[in-house]
Each structure stands twice: as C-alpha cells, then as structure tokens.
Chains A and B, each alone.
Chain A
Amino acid sequence: EPEVTQTPSHQVTQMGQEVILRCVPISNHLYFYWYRQILGQKVEFLVSFYNNEISEKSEIFDDQFSVERPDGSNFTLKIRSTKLEDSAMYFCASRPTVNTEAFFGQGTRLTVV
C-alpha cells in the first residue's frame, strides 16, 4: 500500500543550526502539508502546498521556515537557525484531490539542544 515516507525518524541538532526534514508523498498526490506536535500539545498546521507554491501558512510558519518540492517527488521543510522551542514531532501529509483523506507520514522527531 502506498505510504508517505519521512526521513529521518529522529534528528538532534544544536540551537542555531539549520535542519531539513524530508518527505516523500504518495506519488499521485497533489496537495502537501506539514504539521507539528510539540510534546503534550495539539497537532498544529504549519503550511499547505499545491501547484508548486504555498497555498496557506499558519502564524507559526514565519521566515525561519521554508518548504520546497525540488524534484517532483520530495517535499522538504527547512528550518533555519533552530530554536529550543522548535523541538517537536513534525508530520508530513498528502492527499490526491481536495476533500479526500489526508495520508500522514510517521513523523520526524526534532530535538534542538
């Protein structure tokens, strides 16, 4: 069964460093999302991406964050100059069309030290 794949599963980085979280969505999907969950808190929407551009972003998604779909298969989330409060589980999701089920990856646990 097709699935959304995220790498790495766990990343530890020093404060101030840049990290890139990678996602391979399901191949025929058109809508892509990043969510995050800080430990003990809600899963929060970060950004949606369609037709090679950001369609919506939350207040959390400031200039520190960027997304890219560099090669038609990968979908990356870059966090520049990480902060301690960026420590969270980051989930990638994709869907084939609007108003259909979103499929989630297993998540990347980011720990900023």
Chain B
Amino acid sequence: GDSVTQMEGPVTLSEEAFLTINCTYTATGYPSLFWYVQYPGEGLQLLLKATKADDKGSNKGFEATYRKETTSFHLEKGSVQVSDSAVYFCALMALPGSNYKLTFGKGTLLTVNP
C-alpha cells in the first residue's frame, strides 16, 4: 500500500541555519505530494504541494521538489526562524481511486533556537 517515510525527529537548529527534512514515499500511480505544518496548539496547515514529477512547491521560504526517480520530496529552507518551530508532516494523495485521502508520514518536530 501507499506509505510515507519521514526523517525521524526531533530536529533542533539555531536561527538562520539550513533545514532539510527528508521524505520518501511509496505509491501506486502518480501521487500528489504535500507538506503540512502544525504549529503549537493549531491544526494541520498546508505548507506546499507538488502534483507531478519535477514540480517544485514553495511557500514562506520553504521548498520541496517532486523527484520521481528517487521517490522523494525533501523539505528545505535556507534560513530558519524561531517562528518555524512546529511539526512538519509529509503526505501523499495517490490518484486515481484513492478517494483523495491523504497518507501521512510520522511528522518531524522542528525546534529553532534564537
């Protein structure tokens, strides 16, 4: 079945450090890929997405490129801020016939220190 494997956390960085959170997937068909973020006390928010191979999703300085050859969708940010502290979830939506449900990774807790 479909699955998402994320880098185990927690990840602790200093402000302005470079961030990479690895994500790989297994899916049938041609999935769409997502990164969701959960700030403390809040729900899941879509951070960025990519719907086909070689697409790059970007938002708030975060980027991820859909790599079909390596089945990966790694999240990167060049310079993290304290406000980026949150849990990050990689997810896929496998099409067709998936009822558009999301399959999530385990989540990676990021803590950014000033």
Contact = CB atoms under 8 A, between A and B. Distances in A.
Interface string B27-58: 00000100010000111111001000000000
A100 B86 CA distance: 24
Interface residues of A, number: 27
A98 B49 contact: no
B18 interface: no
A45 B101 contact: yes
B7 interface: no
B106 A41 contact: yes
A37 B36 CA distance: 14
A52 to B, nearest CB: 15
Cβ-closest 5 pairs across A and B: A43-B104, A104-B44, A106-B43, A56-B99, A104-B43
Interface of A: 4, 6, 31, 33, 35, 37, 41-45, 48, 50, 55-56, 91, 93, 95, 98-99, 101-107
